[in-house]
A and B are shown apart, each in its own frame.
Chain A
Amino acid sequence: MWKTRLAAIVLLVAGIGIGYFVYASEGALHGSRIVPGSATLNRFPFKLGLDLSGGAHLIYRADLASTTPSERKDSMDALRDVIERRVNLFGVAEPLVQIESGASDREGRLIVELPGVTDVNKAIQLIGETPTLEFMKEKSKEEIDAYQKAIEAFKKDQEAGKNPPITAELLAGPFEQTGLTGRYLKRATLEFDQTTREPIVSLEFNEEGAALFASITKENVGKTVAIYLDRNLGNFEPISAPVVREEILGGKAQITGKFTPEEAKGLVGRLNSGALPVDKMELLSTETIGATLGEKAAKDGVNAGMYGLAVVAIFLILWYRLPGLLAVIALGMYVVMMLALFKLIPVTLTAAGIAGFILSIGMAVDANILIFARMKEELATGKTVSDSIHEGFHRAWLSIRDSNISSIITAVILFWFGTSLIEGFALTFGIGVLVSMFTAITITRTFLFALGVQENTGVARFFFGSGILNSFLASRASKASEATEATRS
């Protein structure tokens, strides 16, 4: 008896402790009041999803067609790093850049979340600005001649006041692709020539790039290798077109051109962030939630939770009386434990997640209802209050276990189903089912036994009875049905 009472007190104190943790660690809850420990506990805020905090959610598709399967993971990791660097330029508090597997092997997905960013156009521009760096070699003599003729004819026509068409030949230029692009760039650095003090942009390639660069320089000794930036965006002038003097091993190159130190610095920055390790990246979907809308959703979610909790509590106490009251205490502990878990894991809360949590409040009660209904039945068969409690828990356990397993199956499949919206729901719902099994069974049982109702008096029976009508009527009804049972058999 004293053991159970001690356990009950420990559970209560733990519950209050957890409740205090939730209260103290959430600035919005205690406001400007001074709460001891809040300074250290502030490290555990609720993590709000974009639909509650406001912000932008972008999904990009990266083309991996020209990457070998073994490199794909590395490419995606590298892409994530590049995008992360760009996103960090945006000055967002906690940006999230995350890789998700694409629809096929030939593509990867990148999810970018920018809390608090509502000017999505600016964000997309910043992320999507994909400067491409290309190293191109001279075409064959005949092709260059043809190009030169074409461009002379074009200029002549233009001078003559005609509007000549831009042919594909013109666009292609005198250079052709070597396959060496920014993808193979490890890093770019800014240096200055020791003697002339002119800025130099130093490039360092990765292993593969170094090999490519070596073979390109070897094959093109004495010829021009042109370096283009943003040719895809219409920049047809090479930023530099040095003549190769000898084969370059070691994967290092330098671009010297007529640029100012500022220009060179900008170029280095762009090369570093622009060296996308994939061929192409396109925006698949955008989602932006304004801050006011998010704030209102969060507030409404909290309100719905409180009202839901209140009606369930009233219902439980009215219908199940004393056990109902204990169930409400267990439910209260369930709520603070869930909130603490949300903070500690941490679970990103979304509107769907809150809905899942609120739904789980309704379900958490189910185990108690099963147990109490069973207890009531056992009481009606004439057992003592204490025996009825034992039997109630014992017999209800199987249905509680089986029915909760089906809920957990649902939660797991939902979690796998996967978009962030659903994950939020599945996670809160799934954790809810697990935690509620503990609170509804262990905690309620400990409390019930701690009360130590031994005597089988009418008062005890009243408190343990159920229904809005009094237990007297209920027991009479059950006796009546037993009587008909007896006559039938």
Chain B
Amino acid sequence: MFIVKYRKIFFAISAVLVIVSIAMVFARGLNFGIDFKGGSLTEVSYKDIRPETSELQTAVAALSLGDVRIQPAGERDVIIRTKSLSNTGHSSLLTALSLDGKSLFEEKRFSSIGPVVGQELRSRAWVAILLVILGIVLFIAFAFRHVSEPVASWKYGTIIVIALLHDIIIPTGVVALLGKDVDTLFIIALLSIMGLSVHDSIVVFDRVRENLRLKKWREFSETVGKSLEQTFVRSINTSLTIILVLFALYFFGPASTKDFSLILLIGMFFGTYSSIFLGSPLLVTTKMLQDKKGK
């Protein structure tokens, strides 16, 4: 199988993507959404003409709310981000936005999240990610417990986790690049990508497991290559159906889940890539390293 043969090229591609993504995160930083850092977001839709952003800026500046970001959206909407607002702060903001009653609007949504809640959510998100990884490693070690020859079952688990990290680091890099918000939905997207990534890796490794039992091929690398050959159409087809529904979600779905479906799309794409071009070749490399040590 050419993928196993030229695996170094694919390792290099993955390594470069991961390094660039990490560099992106450090260079541009992550833009935490208000649910993670606290703050408020107000979206209003003007009835007639949307006032100029500069006009709104002066009106809001008079309230001295600190750092305020005003961003036009859609045709007549404006999104205003500030620190978290009290009830009175919210009312005065609305008055300012109406330019003292001159411009009428409808308030589409308002959220204000205290810094405490944001802090809590953030630590919970970390715990959730770690728990998912831990749960998956344990499960794989269990599911592959009978496959100890010639590669130990925990090594399968480790490789699946490497693929999983690969699959979530790249979308995170893209999010840093595009400056999208890192919020609760982003975490859900990452966790789903993890689930799907493992799902994919398991299908391929399950085939390796079966073929090892059948002892059809002598060489380990050949067994892996064959298993890959037998499963990659399925990997691509499954990913394709998921990518198709994600496209539907991205283009026709609610505005609030647009970024979510975009991140999932990216994650799915690289998840499929890693299950074919990263996981199984890594298995072969592991075996070779093992053999070298043995000698």
Question: A residues near B, CB below 8 A?
Answer: 51, 59, 61, 103, 118, 120-121, 124-125, 128, 283-290, 292-293, 296-298, 300-301, 303-305, 307-309, 311-312, 315-316, 319, 351-352, 354-355, 358-359, 361-363, 365-366, 369-370, 373, 377, 395, 398-399, 402-407, 409-411, 413-414, 416-419, 421-422, 425, 429
Contact = CB atoms under 8 A, between A and B. Distances in A.
Given A300-B253, A355-B260, A413-B191, A118 B84 contact: no
Nearest to B257: A355
A110 B241 CA distance: 41
A284 B117 contact: yes
A354 B246 CA distance: 12
Contacts of A425: 188
B110 A402 contact: no
A129 to B, nearest CB: 11
Q: Nearest 10 A-B pairs (CB), nearest first?
A: A362-B242, A308-B248, A410-B195, A308-B245, A304-B253, A297-B254, A287-B111, A285-B113, A403-B199, A307-B248
B60 interface: no
21 contacts: A103-B120, A286-B111, A289-B108, A290-B107, A290-B109, A296-B254, A297-B255, A298-B254, A304-B252, A351-B253, A354-B254, A355-B253, A369-B238, A395-B210, A403-B202, A406-B202, A407-B196, A409-B139, A410-B132, A417-B124, A417-B187
A285 B188 CA distance: 21
Contacts of B108: 289-290, 292-293
A389 to B, nearest CB: 17
A414 B87 contact: no
Contacts of A283: 86-87, 114
B245 A406 contact: no
B214 to A, nearest CB: 11
A303 B198 CA distance: 29
A429 B207 contact: no
B176 interface: no
B167 to A, nearest CB: 13
Given A51-B256, A407-B199, A312 B110 contact: no
Contacts of B240: 315
B206 A120 contact: no
B157 to A, nearest CB: 11
A352 B199 contact: no
Interface residues of B, number: 75
Given A297-B255, A403-B199, A288 B188 contact: no
A133 B248 CA distance: 57
Contacts of B121: 419
- Majority-rule SS of B interface residues: helix
B106 interface: yes
Interface in B198-226: 198-200, 202-203, 206-207, 210
Contacts of B199: 363, 366, 403-404, 406-407
A352 B107 contact: no
A308 B124 contact: no
A399 B184 contact: no
A467 B135 CA distance: 37
A402 B90 contact: no
Interface stretch (B19-27, B229-237, B284-292): B229-237
Nearest to A284: B114
A319 B237 contact: yes
Given A296-B255, A373-B231, A410-B191, 11 more contacts: A124-B87, A128-B87, A283-B114, A286-B90, A292-B106, A307-B252, A312-B245, A358-B246, A359-B246, A402-B206, A406-B195
Contacts of A416: 128
B252 A359 contact: no
Interface in B90-120: 90-91, 106-114, 116-117, 120
B192 A352 contact: no
Contacts of A304: 248-249, 251-254
A406 B196 CA distance: 8
B68 interface: no
B256 A351 contact: yes
A442 to B, nearest CB: 20
B131 interface: yes
Given A366-B238, A417-B124, A288 B109 contact: yes
B266 interface: no
B143 interface: yes
B206 A352 contact: no
B110 A409 contact: no
A377 to B, nearest CB: 7
Nearest to A466: B233
A300 B248 CA distance: 10
Contacts of A373: 231, 233-234, 237
Contacts of B109: 287-290, 293
A125 B210 CA distance: 65
Contact of B111 (A288, A355, A359, A362): A288
B134 to A, nearest CB: 9
Interface in B55-101: 84, 86-87, 90-91
B111 A406 contact: no
Nearest to A424: B188
Contacts of B140: 406
A447 to B, nearest CB: 19
A362 B206 CA distance: 21
Nearest to A467: B233
Contact of A301 (B207, B230, B253): B253
A405 B87 contact: no
B14 interface: no
Nearest to B264: A359
Nearest to B111: A287
B49 interface: no
Nearest to A364: B241
Given A319-B237, A409-B135, A421-B184, A351 B254 contact: yes
Interface in B5-62: 35, 43, 45
A22 to B, nearest CB: 20
Given A362-B244, A414-B191, A300 B252 contact: yes
B67 to A, nearest CB: 19
A125 B45 CA distance: 25
B112 A285 contact: yes
